[in-house]
Amino acid sequence: QIDLVESGGGLVQAGGSLTLACAASGATFAIDVLGWYRQAPGKQRELVADISSDGSTNYVDSVKGRGTISRNNAHTWVYLQMNRLKPEDTAVYYCHAKTLGMNNYWGRGTQVTVSS
């Protein structure tokens, strides 16, 4: 079992920045990939960025160049820094972990609201 707790969401003006943090606990030794997803009202949940245990990263096109995902070596923290925020970045952001055994775990989410 892996527990994920997000923090760092809130209200920010367009053009601003924020950093989301996710604390992982439990069987963190089994984590292979850590990532961030988001879900806006009326839309499907989408991958924002993820980072594998080898350090390789993926970003959704709309965030490339504006976002940076990072983690610590113990897989107990994952961060998402986002710059030049846009109103369309408004969503609930969820922390996600995938284990070597292909199990998926989710945090409860943190709201990010970008005002124009």
What tokens appear for 109 in the block? Answer: 């989410």
CB atoms within 10 A of CB 44: 7
Per-residue confidence (pLDDT) for residue 73, from 0 to 100? 83
Query: What is the per-residue DSSP string for 33-92?
Result: EEEEEEE-TTS--EEEEEEETTS-EEE-TTTTTTEEEEE-TTSSEEEEEE-S--GGG-EE
Using one digit for the tens of pLDDT, what is the confidence trace for 38-88? 999 999 999 999 999 999 999 999 999 999 999 998 889 999 999 999 999
